[in-house]
Amino acid sequence: MSDLIITGGTVLTTDGPIRTDLRITDDRVSEIGQGLEASNVIDANEAWVGPGLVDMHSHLRDPGQDWKEDIATGTGAAAVGGYTAVLAMPNTIPVVDNAQIALYVSERGRRVGSADVYPSGCLTMGGDGERMAHIDEMWDAGVRVFTDDGTSVESAAVLRLAMEYIANLGGLVAQHAVDGAMSAHGYMHEGSVSSRLGMHGIPSEAEEIVISRDLALVRLTGVSYHVQHLSSMVGVGLIRQAKADGLPVTAEVTPHHLVFDHTDVASTDADFKMMPPLRSAEDRDALVLGLQDGTIDIVATDHAPHAPREKEVPFEHAPNGVIGLEWAASVTNSVIGDDQVRFFAALSSSPARIAQITDHGHAITIGSTANLVVFDPTERWTPTDSVSRSRNAPYFGRELIGRVRATVRAGQLTHGSTA
């Protein structure tokens, strides 16, 4: 098989970004240097070359809801978005609360995936918030991240026990930090827009309450704890303080929470409905600042596909979630500015480290697995469609800055083409 070379890019190496060419032989990076030649060439043309992106929060809907998405279509969207690895959320049908389903997800990913698929597992059986899931056997099946995403574990007592168990294994507890009772009837941020629309709101305190409680349990159990889709200014403040206190805490923000706010919901377009909801401009600015100063470790998509007919209903009746794998890199780029190191930290190395995905997220060295992305940070473009099976994106018709040119997973192009 012939070699593939990437020319003219700014390559993120262990010594930082360097303008150089690189050669890929089979599934490995085989040479880094100037003036390389081969028959298969990707002309990076001054774009960034770095480790393939890693999404720590993808709902691939497989098994069980293939009308929304499946592992093939979901990883297809991931590849277009520059991802070489995704962490699949466990709230499938059935849920991932045992080794068998976890193994189905990773096996299916190996067979049809355009990106490597890593299953996460539930904290509780069926995500019921009461009985501990088969954490041990899932651990043996390779699961490292445990979450009841879609709901928060309501009982502090149940969560404490799961945390103790997972701390001992060395895994990560990830929390969908939205208090169930405080959000029970709500479907958008509680604020001036919800009041005017007469919509039931979800106050920021719903997030604050869960994170505050969980931080107490982290002190108690010492578990590594990750807050999913952080949405509020007060939440950012809690994470900042927890890190200052030396707690083993990390946090993610979604691309949509970085660029939209609750005024976008005034259209009542269900493509702006997700959980946690889009909050105020003040909250959005705090999230951007938190990402810039490192309080928030990563951008994770919360890619949540729903079929058009499910979203073509009044806002409050629509399911939560928007898709984002194809645009997260562009959104992150426009928010953090021209900074290749930070860009790949937020989208690749940090999520790989936090989720313990060891084959991805490394600076490029000779001999490493060729999981790579070519990203042009300057191209301005406007998305109009998606390769996902669903179309519930808030980005259509909005200009983004930066675009994925090519994605290489284990030496194979999964997106883009050679010259």
Partner 1 sequence: MNHLLTTEGLSREVLEGLLTDAQEFAEVLERPIPKVPALRGRTVATMFFEPSTRTKMSFDKAAKALSADTVAFSASTSSLSKGESLKDTALTVHAMGIDLMIVRHGATGAPWRLAEWLDIPIVNAGDGAHQHPTQALLDCLTITQRFGSLEGLKIAIVGDIRHSRVARSDMFAMSTLGADVTLVGPPTLLPVHMDGWPARTSTDLDAAIEDADVVYLLRVQTERGGGSVFPSLPEYTKRYGMTNDRFSRLKAKAVVLHPGPMNRGVEISHDVADDERALVLQQVSNGVAARMAVLFALLGGDSDV
Looking at the DSSP bridge assignments, the partners of residue 376 are 403
Q: Based on CB atoms, which residue is closest to Zn ion, 81 or 90?
A: 90
- Token pair of 163, please? 């945390």
Round to whole Å and give the CA distance between 172 and 222: 11
Q: Segment 302-321, which members bind partner 1 (CB under 8 A)?
A: 308-310, 312-317
Query: Is the Cβ–Cβ distance between 232 and 207 less than 8 Å?
Result: yes
Instruction: Tell me the residue type at 3.
Output: D
Helix (H) / strand (E) containing 304: none
Q: Which stretch binds Zn ion (CB under 5 A): 102-110, 138-146, 173-181, 303-311?
A: 173-181
Residue 103 binds what, of Zn ion, partner 1, none (CB under 5 to 8 Å, by partner type)? none
Backbone phi, then psi, for 112, in 5-degree steps? -120, 0
Query: Is the Cβ–Cβ distance between 44 and 7 less than 8 Å?
Result: yes
Q: Which of 274, 256, 66 is nearest to 150 (CA)?
A: 274
Q: Alpha helices of 191-348 — where are they, by DSSP H?
A: 192-197, 205-221, 233-244, 255-259, 281-292, 308-311, 328-336, 340-344
* 299 sits near partner 1 (criterion: CB under 8 A): no
Residue 310 binds what, of Zn ion, partner 1, none (CB under 5 to 8 Å, by partner type)? partner 1
Q: Which stretch binds partner 1 (CB under 8 A): 10-18, 101-109, 112-120, 190-198?
A: 190-198
Among 100, 195, 358, 378, binds partner 1 (CB under 8 A): 195
Q: Based on CB atoms, which residue is closest to partner 1, 62 or 190?
A: 190
Q: Which stretch binds partner 1 (CB under 8 A): 91-99, 198-206, 370-378, 397-405?
A: 198-206
Among 14, 45, 100, 192, binds partner 1 (CB under 8 A): 192
Compute the chain's Rg from CA coordinates: 20
**DSSP, res 126:** G
Among 176, 240, 273, 362, binds Zn ion (CB under 5 A): 176
Round to whole Å and give the CA distance between 219 and 291: 24
Round to whole Å and give the CA distance between 228 and 240: 15
Other CB atoms within a 10 A radius of the CB of residue 267 amount to 11
Q: Which stretch binds partner 1 (CB under 8 A): 15-23, 193-201, 224-232, 378-386?
A: 193-201
Among 36, 72, 161, 197, binds partner 1 (CB under 8 A): 197
Q: Segment 112-151, which members bind Zn ion (CB under 5 A)?
A: 149
* Phi and psi based region of residue 137 (left: phi greater than 0; alpha: psi -120 to 50; beta: remaining): alpha
Site pattern 252..281 for partner 1 (x: CB under 8 A): ---------------xxx------------
Query: Is the Cβ–Cβ distance between 261 and 278 less than 8 Å?
Result: yes
Residue whose C-beta lies closest to Zn ion:
176
* 201 sits near partner 1 (criterion: CB under 8 A): yes
Among 152, 183, 194, 224, binds partner 1 (CB under 8 A): 194
The single residue of 97, 297, 302, 376 carrying the catalytic annotation is: 302
> Minimum CB separation from Zn ion for residue 273, in Å?
13
302 is a catalytic site residue: yes
Instruction: Tell me the residue type at 311.
Output: K
* 397 sits near partner 1 (criterion: CB under 8 A): no
> Minimum CB separation from partner 1 for residue 189, in Å?
10
3 state SS of 84: strand
Query: Is the Cβ–Cβ distance between 284 and 260 less than 8 Å?
Result: yes
Q: Based on CB atoms, which residue is closest to Zn ion, 146 or 375?
A: 146
Residue 46 binds what, of Zn ion, partner 1, none (CB under 5 to 8 Å, by partner type)? none
Q: Based on CB atoms, which residue is closest to partner 1, 194 or 221?
A: 194
Query: Can you state the angle between helices 205-221 and 233-244, rounded to 10 degrees?
Result: 20
User: Footprint of partner 1 on this chain (CB under 8 A)?
Assistant: 190-192, 194-199, 201, 203, 267-269, 308-310, 312-317
| Active site amino acids | 302
User: Footprint of Zn ion on this chain (CB under 5 A)?
Assistant: 149, 176
